[in-house]
Amino acid sequence: MTFGDYQNEIYLRGLAGIVPSMPMAFAEWEATAQAALPPSVWSYVAGGAGDEHTQRANADAFKRWGVVPRRFVGATERDLSVELFGMTLPAPVFMAPIGVIGLCAQDGHGDLATARAAARTGVPMVSSTLSVDPMELVAAEFGDTPGLFQLYTPSDRELAASLVHRAQAAGYAGYKGIVVTLDSWVTGWRPRDLSIANVPQLRGHCLSNYTSDPVFRASLALPPEEDLGGAVLRFMQIFGNPLTWDDLNWLRSLTSLPLIVKGICHPEDARRAIHRGRQANGGLPAVDALPAIVEAAGGVPVLFDSGIRSGADIVKALALGATAVGIGRPYAYGLALGGVDGIVHVLRALLAETDLIMAVDGYPTLADLVPEALLPVM
């Protein structure tokens, strides 16, 4: 079977009068999720910094590229598999970290639902530091699909070390890499959240990796179960940490797992790191920075996760040099509209479109998706 066979499943069920219960495209996923989520969660997931110009530009930038069709290449079979940090993945996609994904599920355990969707699809999850359930419980749901752990590095180095060590020790499939976030060590100016005076973490949500950590608990006067406010205050004190290059060296010393730095948009930073508009407005679209980052990386894998809304976007990001592409809001919206099944549907839809574009346009393998496969669209 190919990823594109998902459409055949849908059409064949239609012959029996069964039409899909979930929508097929991003705009509908977004609209349905907005109706399903409480305003406090919706604003956090859908919103961005400032007037959200850069957030929109991240998505709109893909429209400036068109895929060049090739003919007589016999793309009957497509191979989307990729080797990444010692993992063999069925497709070059992953679920990007979303700090409040836990709150997007009807039962309030969206991190577990996302991990279960990873197990069903083979699409890895990057589990956030800011989760409803502890990282160990999330990893236990991965099945045979490996995952990655995203680290918001706290200013308390002992706590940071504890989080990294816990991730390395977790589970059977477990975490196969640490994703260090650089681009949101402090919350950006986010009018949607400001207008309702709400940040979920300050209300005690999505802090289980802290409240379950022995180092964090030891720093509290009272256990979180007795004084949640005290735990939140401690979280606020240690969350913000603007990392330096020396910190990267220290983080590298904590683990033997691959260390992946998130938020690199300048070629010089990419070159130095080797041995996305949600939090900052006014920047350039991330996909415009991608080719230069890929060149600077010199063969080191480059993961891209900004503005992906469709299979066409995935194809274009791969052609511009991304090794793997992160899905963000689409799977969050899928979770809101249908739980585990909703995420699986969104991932299968995106992969089906990716696969079918490669089939129709004559690109049978990922190696065929090179920059020359694209032309600017005026």
The pLDDT tens digits for 92-146 are: 999 999 989 999 999 999 999 999 999 999 999 999 999 999 999 999 999 999 9
Q: Which residues, other chains included, contact 11 with Cβ-Cβ below 8 Å and sequence gap of 6+? A: none
Three-state secondary structure call for residue 249: helix
Please say if the pLDDT value at position 378 is more than 80: no
269: three-class secondary structure by DSSP: helix
| Residue 282 backbone dihedrals phi, psi, to 5 degrees | 90, 5
Residue 277's pLDDT band (cuts 50, 70, 90):
very low
The answer to whether residue 294 scores a pLDDT higher than 50 is yes
What are φ and ψ of residue 31, in 5° steps?
-65, -40
Structural tokens at position 362: 């004559």
Residue 280 pLDDT greater than 70, yes or no:
no
pLDDT band at 353 (very low <50, low <70, confident <90, very high): very high
Question: Which pair of structure tokens corresponds to residue 58?
Answer: 């991240």
Dump strand ranges (E) for 294-357: 303-304, 324-327
Residue 48's CB is within 10 A of a number of other CB atoms, namely 21
Query: What is the four-CA torsion angle of 322, 325, 326, 330, rounded to 10 degrees?
Result: 130
The DSSP string of 218-243 is HTSSS-TTT-HHHHHHHHHHHH----
What pLDDT, on a 0 to 100 scale, did the predictor assign at position 184? 76
Contact 323, 343 (CB under 8 A): no
Among 320, 269, 324, residue whose Cα is nearest residue 301: 324
Predicted confidence (pLDDT) at residue 230 exceeds the cutoff of 50: yes
Average of per-residue pLDDT across 17-31? 97
Instruction: Tell me the C-alpha distance between 327 and 59, whole Å.
Output: 12
Q: Residue 1's pLDDT is what? A: 79
- What is residue 275's predicted lDDT score, i.e. its pLDDT? 52
Portion of the chain with pLDDT greater than 70, in percent: 97
Total-model pTM: 0.94
CB atoms within 10 A of CB 214: 10
How is residue 354 written in tokens? 């990716």
The residue behind tokens 């100016």 is: 189
Mean pLDDT of the chain: 93
Least confident of 112-116, 169-173, 261-265: 169-173
User: Is the separation of the CB atoms in 43 and 355 below 8 Å?
Assistant: no
Q: CB count, 10 Å around CB of 321?
A: 18
- Tell me the pLDDT band of 250, cut-offs 50, 70 and 90: very high
Which pLDDT does position 283 carry in this prediction? 54
Q: Where in the sequence numbering do the catalytic residues fall?
A: 275
Asked if the model's pLDDT at residue 276 lies above 50, the reply is no
**What does each C-alpha distance from 20 to 5, 24, 25, 247, 354 come to in angstroms?**
15, 8, 12, 49, 20
Cα–Cα distance measured from residue 50 to residue 214, given in angstroms and rounded to the nearest whole number: 37
